[in-house]
């Protein structure tokens, strides 16, 4: 971000070169910044960084002209000020619009308003669908039919995905349909009729039940039939229709239509026995029918019917005993005989299975975890199968298995079957100087490692000796397994971590107040540390036996970590 007033004042050469460089940077970066340059020039570029807008100063140097807005995240041009701009090629998304300038210019001069064009806002028509206009010869006048139409965005979306072709669109060319006629499509409902009246195009809503469609010389309409209208027999409809006479017709008129000779008198006719055709209904039939009770279904009791069925051959009577037997059979049961099995699992005909002796091994057990050598099988009801492999507790016969010695830093890896360790940690001894070097302290800890696999071992180095001052201190030794961080004393590390001292602390053998000289008095003060001088021993002071002058004391020995491992 750099801006400059582009004025180079009189100054020394180094300042002039700096001023020129700053002016060139401002020029190269289009005077970019969130605020406009304090000094402006006609036709000067400025990139406004807070809005990502590229601007140019007008010729009168009185205002800025916005040219484009950039997307610095996706490296794209978001928008271009196109007022008065001619674009030779246009691409919507990834699809190029093939409509020509002449075809697009047909919109020029149309009377459609901004509000009407806003109907397109939200429509999901695609570039491919817009390209159907390419080659259409519709004119500005024909497009003006849309002016004033109250079509909605949702209605325009009907065009989305339509397969209409340019040739089909051209059928609109020359059509004289008006805005009022197009608006007839709005509010159209089921049963409506679009027709031409004396004025133009009209819409007739659906009529009501019983109305008939009538027509005049100039119009059509729904009307209810009057008494003078032709009579008719009508039906009530439905699954059981009932016929009735329409308004204006009488029963006599119906009989007249059926034919002359039909009488509505209550004449009584009599038929003698034997006077009808074959299969006559005789007096004997009538007497027999009179002997049957109304609603009769049978003349036998249940016991009589059952006795008759029992007496019949192959009657397959379903008895109470059969019903009881069926109740004792399980649903979907079949007549199945269990086979006998042999091998590791045996069975007899009754379906009972028995596991043979000495066949259940580790692979056949359902245990919640993988087996580990030395582990024992424990009952864990909440786990899969209720069984879990676990390390044997110390009271179950576990004992000393192995040990590891670390005289240098490294990594302790737990051997298989190890659950507890005893760790001896000894620091490095201090170097000798004016006095004897301090021995490294030692701590002893018992650690449960059943859920620990490795630990980081740090062995403290011995301190350097000195001639005229005390020798350098020895380094701390430590054990770190992710759960425990143990040293010989509680200390706070550089990151704020506080270490844990061992279960048993053995102090070093340093005796303060010792001075150089005194023959073998040093041996009396030097204990040699926990390991008797092999590890963590402080360095001896030195005295030149010839001149009596001090020489550099001996360096302390490195510390040690000793791990004793138990199952």
Quick check: 218 pLDDT over 70? yes
Query: pLDDT class for 514, splitting at 50, 70, 90?
Result: very low
> 44-58, 87-101, 253-267, 308-322 — which one is most confidently predicted on average?
44-58
Characterize the bridge pairing of strands 550-551 and 560-566: unpaired
CA distance 455 to 464: 28
Chosen domain end from 372, 390, 408? 390
Q: What is the CA radius of gyration of the chain?
A: 57
CA distance 385 to 505: 46
Mean pLDDT across 325-331? 85
CA distance 179 to 184: 9
269 vs 189 pLDDT, higher one: 189
Mean pLDDT across 422-426? 94
368 with 404, same domain: the answer is no
CA distance 455 to 481: 4
Tell me what pLDDT residue 510 has: 45
Query: Is 445 in contact with 481 (CB distance < 8 Å)?
Result: no
Query: Is 133 in contact with 162 (CB distance < 8 Å)?
Result: no
Distance of CA 176 to the CA centre of its chain: 55
Quick check: 414 pLDDT over 60? yes
353 vs 480 pLDDT, higher one: 480
10 Å Cβ neighbour count for 293?
Answer: 7
399 with 374, same domain: the answer is no
436 with 517, same domain: the answer is yes
**Using alpha carbons only, what angle is made at residue 397 by residues 412 and 373, rounded to the nearest 5 degrees?**
55
Asked if the structure places residue 553 within a domain, the reply is: yes
Tell me what pLDDT residue 542 has: 63
Tell me what pLDDT residue 41 has: 94
Tell me what pLDDT residue 305 has: 78
Asked if the structure places residue 58 within a domain, the reply is: yes
Asked if the structure places residue 261 within a domain, the reply is: no
476 with 512, same domain: the answer is yes
E strand or H helix at 199: none
Q: Residue 318: left if φ>0, alpha if ψ -120 to 50, beta else—which one?
A: beta
Mean pLDDT across 211-226? 80
Give the chain's mean pLDDT. 73
- The tally of domains found in the chain comes to 4
Which of 400, 481, 475, 385 lies closest to 431 in space, CA to CA?
Answer: 475
398 with 375, same domain: the answer is no
Asked if the structure places residue 519 within a domain, the reply is: yes
**Sequence-distant (≥ 6) Cβ neighbours of residue 357 within 8 angstroms:** none
CA distance 538 to 473: 9
Note down the domain range covering 523.
Answer: 392-567
532 vs 81 pLDDT, higher one: 81
Instruction: Extract the tokens encoding 472.
Output: 């350098």
Tell me what pLDDT residue 526 has: 45
CA atoms within 13 A on the CB side of 97: 17
Tell me what pLDDT residue 127 has: 53
Query: pLDDT class for 179, splitting at 50, 70, 90?
Result: low
Chosen domain end from 371, 390, 409? 390
Quick check: 87 pLDDT over 90? no
Characterize the bridge pairing of strands 400-406 and 387-391: unpaired
429 with 524, same domain: the answer is yes
Query: Is 556 in contact with 430 (CB distance < 8 Å)?
Result: yes
Distance of CA 440 to the CA centre of its chain: 59
Quick check: 119 pLDDT over 50? no
Tell me what pLDDT residue 407 has: 92
Quick check: 383 pLDDT over 70? yes
438 with 531, same domain: the answer is yes
Which of 152, 199, 145 lies closest to 172 in space, CA to CA?
Answer: 145
Query: Is 61 in contact with 40 (CB distance < 8 Å)?
Result: yes
Tell me what pLDDT residue 459 has: 94
> 23-32, 135-144, 190-199, 200-209 — which one is most confidently predicted on average?
23-32
- In a 3-state reduction of DSSP, which class is residue 349? coil
CA diameter of the chain: 176
Quick check: 562 pLDDT over 90? yes
Sign of the CA dihedral with 170 first, then 176, 180, and 184 last = negative
Instruction: Give 246's DSSP letter.
Output: P
Tell me what pLDDT residue 416 has: 93
Asked if the structure places residue 316 within a domain, the reply is: no
CA distance 66 to 80: 9
CA distance 97 to 387: 72
458 with 514, same domain: the answer is yes
54 with 170, same domain: the answer is no
315 vs 372 pLDDT, higher one: 372
Least confident of 40-44, 110-114, 521-525, 529-533: 521-525
pTM: 0.32
CA distance 542 to 537: 16
Least confident of 74-88, 264-278, 534-548: 264-278
376 with 399, same domain: the answer is no
Asked if the structure places residue 541 within a domain, the reply is: yes
Instruction: Extract the tokens encoding 62.
Output: 């009185």
529 with 553, same domain: the answer is yes
In degrees and rounded to multiples of 5, residue 421 shows phi and psi of: -140, 155
> 148-157, 337-346, 468-477, 479-488 — which one is most confidently predicted on average?
479-488
Quick check: 131 pLDDT over 60? no
CA distance 560 to 478: 10
Chosen domain end from 153, 186, 219? 186
Percent of the chain with pLDDT over 70: 60
Query: Is 60 in contact with 44 (CB distance < 8 Å)?
Result: no
CA distance 135 to 142: 15
Tell me what pLDDT residue 479 has: 95
pLDDT tens across 472-500, in order? 888 899 999 999 999 988 877 777 778 78
Q: Which own/partner contact pairs does 309-312 have at CB distance under 8 Å and 24+ positions apart?
A: none
Which of 411, 535, 403 lies closest to 480 in space, CA to CA?
Answer: 411
E strand or H helix at 400: strand 400-406
Percent of the chain with pLDDT over 90: 20
> 298-307, 316-325, 382-391 — which one is most confidently predicted on average?
382-391
CA distance 552 to 540: 9
Asked if the structure places residue 3 within a domain, the reply is: no
Query: Is 490 in contact with 499 (CB distance < 8 Å)?
Result: yes
Asked if the structure places residue 290 within a domain, the reply is: no
Helices (H), 270-370: 283-290, 302-311, 320-327
E strand or H helix at 179: helix 179-183
59 with 166, same domain: the answer is no
Least confident of 109-113, 163-167, 453-457: 109-113
């Amino acid at each position: 971000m750099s801006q400059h007033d582009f004025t180079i004042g009189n100054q020394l050469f180094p300042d002039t070169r700096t001023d020129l460089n700053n002016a060139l940077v401002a020029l190269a970066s289009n005077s970019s910044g969130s605020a406009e340059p304090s000094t402006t020039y006609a036709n000067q570029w400025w990139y406004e960084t807070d809005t990502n807008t590229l601007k140019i100063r007008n010729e009168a140097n009185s205002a800025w002209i916005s040219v484009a807005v950039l997307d610095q995240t996706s490296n794209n041009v978001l928008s271009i000020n196109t007022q008065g701009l001619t674009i030779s090629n246009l691409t919507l998304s990834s699809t190029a619009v093939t409509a020509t300038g002449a075809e697009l210019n047909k919109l020029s001069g149309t009377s459609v308003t901004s509000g009407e064009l806003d109907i397109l806002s939200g429509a999901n028509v695609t570039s491919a669908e817009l390209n159907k206009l390419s080659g259409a010869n519709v004119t500005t006048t024909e497009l003006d039919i849309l002016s004033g139409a109250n079509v909605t965005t949702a209605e325009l979306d009907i065009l989305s995905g339509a397969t209409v072709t340019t040739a089909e669109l051209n059928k609109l060319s020359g059509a004289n349909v008006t805005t009022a006629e197009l608006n007839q499509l709005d509010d159209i409902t089921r049963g409506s009729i679009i027709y031409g009246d004396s004025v133009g195009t009209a819409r007739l809503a659906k009529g009501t039940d019983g109305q008939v469609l009538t027509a005049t010389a100039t119009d059509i309409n729904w009307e209810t039939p009057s008494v003078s209208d032709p009579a008719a027999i009508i039906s009530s409809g439905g699954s059981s229709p009932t016929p009735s006479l329409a308004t204006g017709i009488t029963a006599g008129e119906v009989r007249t239509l059926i034919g002359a000779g039909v009488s509505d008198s209550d004449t009584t006719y009599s038929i003698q026995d034997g006077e009808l055709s074959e299969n006559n209904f005789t007096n004997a039939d009538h007497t027999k029918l009179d002997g049957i009770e109304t609603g009769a279904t049978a003349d036998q009791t249940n016991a009589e019917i059952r006795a008759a069925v029992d007496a019949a051959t192959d009657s397959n009577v379903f008895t109470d005993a059969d019903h009881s037997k069926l109740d004792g059979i399980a649903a979907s049961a079949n007549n199945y005989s269990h086979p006998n099995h042999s091998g590791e699992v045996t069975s007899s005909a009754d379906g009972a299975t028995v596991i043979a002796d000495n066949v259940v091994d580790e692979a056949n057990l359902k245990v919640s975890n993988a087996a580990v050598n030395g582990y024992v099988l424990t009952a864990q009801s909440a786990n899969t199968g209720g069984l879990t492999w676990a390390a044997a507790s110390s009271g179950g016969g576990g004992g000393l298995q192995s040990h590891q010695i670390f005289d240098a830093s490294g990594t302790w890896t737990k051997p298989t079957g190890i659950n507890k360790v005893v760790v001896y940690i000894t620091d490095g001894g201090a170097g000798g100087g004016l006095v004897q070097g301090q021995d490294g302290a030692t701590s002893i800890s018992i650690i449960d490692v059943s859920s620990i696999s490795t630990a980081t071992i740090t062995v403290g180095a011995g301190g350097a000796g000195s001639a005229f001052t005390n020798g350098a201190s020895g380094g701390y030794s430590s054990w770190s397994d992710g759960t425990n961080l143990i040293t010989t004393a509680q200390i706070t590390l550089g990151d704020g971590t506080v270490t844990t001292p061992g279960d048993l602390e053995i102090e070093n053998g340093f005796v303060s107040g010792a001075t150089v000289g005194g023959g073998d008095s040093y041996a009396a003060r030097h204990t040699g540390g926990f390991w008797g001088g092999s590890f963590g021993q402080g360095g001896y002071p030195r005295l030149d036996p010839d001149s009596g002058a001090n020489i550099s004391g001996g360096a302390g020995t490195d510390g040690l970590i000793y791990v004793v491992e138990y199952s």
